[in-house]
Chain A
């Protein structure tokens, strides 16, 4: 069974979403396509998946990181030294043994890394929005770039107008994405702050 996961930048939600499927008697067999497509396989033993978030590691640190987690019974599914996101899976043993973090300090710094990850994701869109803003692309007349379009008359105007509409929509899409990214990162920020406060 395959499932796709597009544009889900909230790591905790993604983890919940994956574990819901695992609870129905599956395990993740493969993760492909930039961590967006999950292949599930039926199993008799219940499994759990955790998504860890780490800053870029050098080769030795990455090796050490994977060895420690594997010693604790986790299987590495997907990720790389600089991917930020690391997928770990194991057979369910019990509430305490199925966590990646066992004290307040390390759980708090995990949430902080999650928040930074979401904000970093939104960063390129914010930069794009600034460039677009400087080009005054947010006003309607600037969306259509055909010279003299608004002075044309009759059929000529409509032909030119309809011809350019797909391009204008595309340009309009950029600020929509920016708006979405800003909303998402603000949401992530407040969610993680709430989680941090719950721990304190």
Chain B
């Protein structure tokens, strides 16, 4: 398989795809990721905007609705598949420790 520009997933991309197991808008994603990472990963506005733009471009996430003027995003089946591939890669790495 040709190497995808977003693979291996960065920590930011990992957290966004995992947070988007449930539908969320941008700011809520940042809060969710704060919580999931135990306060370790605090996304900045530009990083989040760029990541959402990038992930949408490859159809790994999609817009599923709006809340006020805010777009709500959710992971796609293709995004789930990417996460599964990454999970297998990380499990293998961990088994080597």
Contacts and interface: CB of A to CB of B under 8 A. Distances in A.
B27 A68 contact: yes
B10 A68 contact: no
Contact of A105 (B12, B42, B44): B12
A69 interface: yes
Contacts of A103: 10-12, 47
Interface string A28-39: 000000000000
Contact of A67 (B12, B46, B50, B69): B69
B89 interface: no
Contact of A102 (B42, B53, B70): B42
Interface residues of B, number: 22
A100 B44 contact: yes
B45 to A, nearest CB: 4
Nearest to B12: A103
Interface in A52-89: 52, 61, 63-65, 67-69, 71-72, 74
A102 B51 CA distance: 11
Given A72-B27, A102-B12, A103-B11, A64 B49 contact: yes
Nearest to B71: A64
Nearest to A104: B10
Contact of B44 (A63, A64, A99, A104): A99
Nearest to A110: B46
B44 A67 contact: no
Contacts of A176: none
B42 A65 contact: no
3 pairs of A and B residues whose beta carbons are closest in the complex: A100-B46, A102-B44, A71-B27
